[in-house]
């Protein structure tokens, strides 16, 4: 069983400098996984930093950005000149010669004259060729320009998707950490309740030995001790499961011992709901990624649609080895080549329409994401307010329960009260403490959800994450 403890914040583990270097490294995806150092406390920020370093989803998203960057470089290379060298060795079965027949003509006063020309060599039997060729696209009907635009926005979309994935990983780990912290705190409450029941059983046994209380009071205390031991076991199991979920989210071995150093506390969010919604929508990595994706798809549609339009290419060639050229081949030439597809069966238009529809779908997805963001901010704000009211009620209930336990203990010690009355008071205190812990969990959970929705979570945790700088070219 994995033991989880909540300790003071001394010696807390926030490996910011180490993980900053790690996350900025191109080899982060293939490096050894990060683990909490043995014997050090684990904060929420530390857990998130480890998860960001180990997450396979983050590694995959980084590779997507690398692929998009390569596609961007390829697209920009399309408008640059292309140079190539061609060398060949040709052997013909026999030389190509052109025989010119003799021509006889009659001239006045000169008589008949026959003109004979030697055979003309058209191509040698063995030829060595070497040439250099350069091609430069002059006009492509917007195909290259839109391909470059599509690649640029595609890279930005993947960069924003990486940011969004980092936020997803972070909030998942935060929620798992809070659940583990809550489970550990509830286990602690149940163990304190177990100590109270044991002390009560000892006191009851002494009073029974002194003839003050009946045997029933001892039996009732013994029964409650067994029930409380069961509650402690259940709480320990829940703590183990919550801790395993946290370790799994961090992608570390499930046998790793951890000491949770960030307790559940009462938090207040600075912005009101309307301001939070505005901040969330304007800073959403998800919606920005989808809108960049739509721009990329629109540009790709225009580039695809240009496939049935004319293109102009400038070509230049120079033969480096000229002695084997035929009589009809120039040493060098420059030309403009125009290609105008006359009919493609509607293929280019169909592919362009497909990309335009995909772009419209991405914009629809962006709008749906905005709607979900607004709903999420409203829900988190309501949960935060509800949790704070619940905490105030729980504090009041805990104070009343502790006073009730004090009075029940005095009544039992003086023989006025019963064992059942004190046991109920002990359970009342434990229940009040559990309710207070649940209220704090609700507050913290809602607070961090608000930070995540407004894209402030990693900044608040001071957790380093530097995926990819946006390409503005």
Residue 131 within any structural domain of the chain: no
Note the pLDDT tens digit of each residue in 217-265: 899 999 999 999 999 999 999 999 999 999 999 999 998 888 999 999 9
The sign of the CA dihedral 33, 38, 42, 46 is negative
pTM beyond 0.85: the answer is no
Q: How far apart are CA 473 and CA 469, in angstroms?
A: 12
Closest Cα partner for 191 from 223, 221, 235?
235
Q: Quick check: helix, strand or coil at residue 160?
A: helix
Quote the tokens at residue 256: 């790793």
Q: How many CA atoms does the CB half-sphere of 144 hold within 13 Å?
A: 17
Neighbours of 405 (CB within 10 A): 20
Residue 430 within any structural domain of the chain: yes
Neighbours of 276 (CB within 10 A): 24
Neighbours of 191 (CB within 10 A): 16
Q: How far apart are CA 466 and CA 469, in angstroms?
A: 8
Number of domains in the chain: 1
Q: In which element (H, E) is residue 313 found?
A: strand 311-319
Has residue 270 got a pLDDT over 60?
yes
Residue 98 within any structural domain of the chain: no
β-strands 12-13, 41-42: how paired? parallel
The sign of the CA dihedral 241, 246, 252, 257 is negative
Amino acid 174: pLDDT: 97
Q: Which domain range does residue 46 map to?
A: 4-80+141-308+345-461
Indicate the range of 3-17, 82-96, 299-313 predicted with least confidence: 3-17
Note the pLDDT tens digit of each residue in 131-146: 899 999 999 999 999 9
User: Do residues 79 and 148 lie in contact, with contact meaning Cβ atoms separated by under 8 Å?
Assistant: yes
Residue 261 within any structural domain of the chain: yes
Q: What is the mean pLDDT of the chain?
A: 86
Note the pLDDT tens digit of each residue in 417-441: 888 999 999 999 999 999 999 999 9
Q: In which element (H, E) is residue 87 found?
A: strand 82-91
Has residue 23 got a pLDDT over 90?
no
Neighbours of 337 (CB within 10 A): 11
Q: In what order do the strands lie in the sheet with 311-319?
A: 82-91, 126-139, 311-319, 332-339
Residue 387 within any structural domain of the chain: yes
Q: How far apart are CA 46 and CA 256, in angstroms?
A: 14
- 118 φ, ψ (degrees, to nearest 5): -70, 160
Closest Cα partner for 43 from 265, 267, 268, 259?
259
Amino acid 34: pLDDT: 72
* % of the chain surpassing 70 pLDDT: 84
Alpha helices, H only, 344-417: 347-413
Residue 378 within any structural domain of the chain: yes
Amino acid 31: pLDDT: 52
| Residue entry with tokens 């704000």 | 381
Amino acid 125: pLDDT: 66
Crossing angle, helix 347-413 and helix 273-283, to 10 degrees? 140
Has residue 147 got a pLDDT over 70?
yes
Quote the tokens at residue 178: 């809070």
Residue 409 within any structural domain of the chain: yes
CATH number at residue 179: 1.20.1600.10
Residue 331 within any structural domain of the chain: no
Indicate the range of 21-25, 150-154, 423-427, 428-432 predicted with least confidence: 21-25
Amino acid 398: pLDDT: 96
Amino acid 326: pLDDT: 65
Amino acid 281: pLDDT: 95
Q: In which element (H, E) is residue 201 found?
A: helix 143-209
Has residue 360 got a pLDDT over 80?
yes
Amino acid 33: pLDDT: 65
Contacts of residue 15, defined as CB under 8 A and 6 or more positions apart, other chains included, come to: 34, 46, 49, 50
């Amino acid at each position: 069983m994995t033991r989880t403890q909540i300790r003071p914040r001394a010696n807390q583990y926030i490996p910011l400098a180490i993980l900053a270097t790690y996350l900025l490294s191109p080899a982060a995806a293939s490096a050894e996984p990060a683990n909490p150092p043995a014997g050090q406390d684990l904060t929420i920020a530390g857990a998130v930093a480890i998860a960001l370093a180990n997450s396979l989803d983050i590694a995959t998203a980084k590779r997507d950005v690398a692929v998009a960057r390569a596609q961007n470089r390829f697209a920009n290379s399309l408008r640059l000149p292309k140079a190539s060298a061609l060398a060949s060795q040709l052997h013909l079965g026999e030389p190509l010669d052109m025989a010119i027949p003799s021509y006889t003509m009659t001239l006045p006063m000169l008589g008949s004259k026959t003109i004979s020309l030697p055979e003309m060599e058209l191509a040698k039997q063995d030829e060595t060729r070497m040439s250099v060729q350069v091609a430069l696209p002059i006009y492509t009907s917007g195909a290259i320009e839109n391909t470059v635009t599509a690649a640029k926005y595609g890279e930005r979309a993947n960069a924003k998707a990486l940011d969004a994935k980092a936020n997803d990983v972070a909030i998942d780990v935060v929620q798992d950490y809070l659940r583990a912290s809550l489970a550990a705190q509830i286990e602690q409450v149940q163990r304190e309740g177990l100590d109270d029941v044991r002390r009560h059983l000892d006191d009851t046994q002494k009073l029974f030995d002194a003839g003050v209380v009946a045997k029933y009071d001892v039996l009732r205390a013994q029964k409650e001790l067994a029930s409380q031991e069961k509650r402690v076991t259940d709480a320990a199991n829940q703590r183990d499961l919550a801790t395993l979920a946290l370790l799994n989210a961090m992608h570390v071995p499930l046998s790793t011992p951890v000491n949770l150093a960030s307790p559940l506390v009462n938090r207040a969010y600075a912005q009101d709901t309307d301001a939070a919604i505005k901040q969330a929508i304007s800073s959403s990595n998800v919606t920005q990624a989808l809108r960049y994706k739509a721009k990329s798809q629109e540009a790709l549609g225009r580039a695809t649609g240009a496939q049935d339009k004319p293109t102009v290419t400038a070509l230049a060639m120079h033969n480096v080895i000229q002695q084997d050229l035929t009589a009809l081949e120039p040493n060098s030439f420059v030309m403009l080549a125009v290609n105008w597809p006359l009919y493609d069966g509607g293929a280019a238009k169909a592919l362009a329409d497909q990309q335009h529809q995909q772009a419209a779908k991405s914009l629809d997805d962006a709008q749906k994401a905005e709607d979900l963001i607004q709903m999420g901010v409203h829900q988190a704000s309501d949960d935060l307010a509800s949790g704070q009211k619940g905490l105030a009620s729980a504090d009041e209930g805990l104070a009343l329960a502790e006073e009730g336990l004090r009075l029940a203990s005095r009544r039992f010690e003086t023989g006025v009260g019963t064992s059942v009355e004190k046991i109920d008071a002990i359970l009342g205190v434990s229940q009040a403490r559990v309710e207070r812990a649940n209220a704090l969990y609700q507050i913290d959970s809602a607070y961090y959800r608000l930070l995540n929705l407004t894209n402030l979570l990693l900044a608040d945790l001071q957790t380093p994450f530097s995926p990819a700088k946006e390409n503005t070219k």
